[in-house]
Chain A
Amino acid sequence: MRMKKILLKTSLNLIAWILSFIVLIPFVVVIINSFKTDAEVNVLTLKLPEKWIFENYSVVFEKGNLAISFFNSTLYAVVSSFLLVVVVAFSAFVLARNTTKLNRFIYYFLVLGITLPLNYIPLMSVMKGLHLINSQFGIILLYTAMGIPISLFITYAFVNNIPKELDEAAVMDGCNAFSLFFRVIMPLLKPILVTVFVLNFMNVWNEFTAPLYLLNDVDKWPVTLAVYNFFGQFSAQWNLVSANIVLTSIPVLIVFLLAQKHIVGGLTSGSIKG
């Protein structure tokens, strides 16, 4: 009996390590090959490089147009996440508090966007009509709009957990709508708004489709498009492509490590109620 238990424990641990290994190995292959010479990288293996070529990284940084695209991705991610937090906090507050028939309808209508697909071809002509095509401001607004449904969904649930008595007390103390929102509600919403910010930051940083359709100028491209374009030019040189992959994944991995709790908490919120 005891023997059996030890055997079971060992095999469970072994399976866990095999799974982690399966997930890790592609990363390891990419990292190792990013330091190899052109000739050595012809065959991708787990063998360590004969000579470590650190220059691959500087080559990639220059030829890959990375400085400007890092700036662009950061700009799009930060500004759209900031706008999103503001817009969502205001609307979640009012929609959750004042539950008229109309407001309920608006809430469901907005949340419907979680599942609906974007139609990029007409989106292009709409954005053209608004003079927002091939524009940095345009894509920032688009990203804000794309983030609204899911962010509203998780923030709305959070507002519902703030007791309404607080509002009444604030009104007694002479608060109006704005001071109630900024002094009482906003501070209480802070944790969920941080989550909304971080999740949207990562989504925008990783997004690829919208700029593919909407941005023509190289100097407006985010990192994803820059990497894809680099791959088109250097697809035979996997050492350089690998270095590019590593470089452009670092920022998002750092955000993940720093904000792990918020990310996992945000992704699981709403999934276990019931």
Chain B
Amino acid sequence: MPATLFEKLWRQHRIADLGDGVALIAIDRVMLHERTGGVALDSLSKSGRTVLAPGQAFAVMDHIVDTLPGRSDATKMPTGMAFITGTRAAAHAAGIGLFDLDDPRQGICHVISPEQGIVLPGVTLVCPDSHTGTQGAFGALAWGIGSSEAEHALATGTLRVRKPRTMRITVRGRLAAAVGAKDLALHIIAQVGSAGAQGHAVEFAGDGVAALDIEQRQTLCNMATEMSAFCAIIAPDDVSISALEGTPLAPTGAQWDQAVAAWRTLASDRDAAFDRDIAIDADEVAPMISWGTSPQQSIPVTGTVPRGEAETEANHRRALAYMGLEAGEALAGLRIDAAFIGSCTNSRLSDLRRAAAVVQGRRVAEGIRAICVPGSGAVKRAAEAEGIADTLIAAGFEWREPGCSMCFFAGGESFGLRERVVSTTNRNFESRQGPETRTHIASPELVAASAIAGRIVDPREA
């Protein structure tokens, strides 16, 4: 019987059937970060248990560490140092690999995983971080879990998982030159809704996906979280396999050849049936931006804030009031206070390259705070070598150390009260980037162009 890629990986990793749709699934890779991973390691050791396979587990410092130059264990976030030192001590005690603050490989977990060859096609990979599905761009079964489940995966090498349904999102045709994976993602989320993929393993397919480079694919899979997908996956191909070749933890020599041969078989069969199947026409995707407090509240940048419908009226009104907007208002032209480029969604080299191309030779508008946070040490060094950093700094951007930074407000650094921010991050939730901040999520190009203009602009007109 024809099977989906998800089904093949599920069957391969199923150790036991626990009944009622739940299975015991083998976990090949566990990643942890200092925000939610330290507590899992702590709890594990307090219960007298150990990590089953320390070689398959990794800890990263990204969520709480400062991204200001000259940073140390001390953080702007009150009590942040305890998370950092606690995770460091727990990782050492557990014998798992750690990408510490002073490590040149340090960065956002989902950015450094492929750089290091932690994620590989066909692996099951979990992390107590909701955006773990990002790594499905490499043909891995990667999903976000809670801290207790992380503890479970560390202790047993498995998870008890309720089998999700399957959903295929086929992108027909190629995206126009001026739009990218972030626009595509927001376009899809606006259509299917924030809960639109709930309970589903999403496979992105079609020529529009095959044409995306590996970094754009990660952006797309990253945003599947914002439609509540269990995970997102793209079948491995030359693009993803060659991106991993030569990375430190990828197999080498004959083992590489053996692995590649196995990875080549990882695709949904031609006649495989999905529980849901939707198609998107790439030529309908325009530069997108969110207007509200949920990623589904996104529109083309040329559009106007929609009116609510009866069943969502209360949510709609709340979002409008929070954002200081009115139905019918155009987003283009709206004055902003700040611009942020970074996060596991859009902090890779090509993201920064596209932003730099927009700001080249220009200056950030007077009074606008503009920040760029590269996703990893490797991205930062490459951007500096390529002149991207110089371009951004000359334009007036702050150039930071790698980390999650102001993707979320943890009590330390923030954008100010009710400030309007255009951001390449993944969430526009209430107070996500600071007290009552009004976040509009969009692509690096749109954020860069808006920083220059001091207001929301269509990057095609910048």
Partners in one complex: no
List residues of B whose CB falls within 8 A of some A CB: none
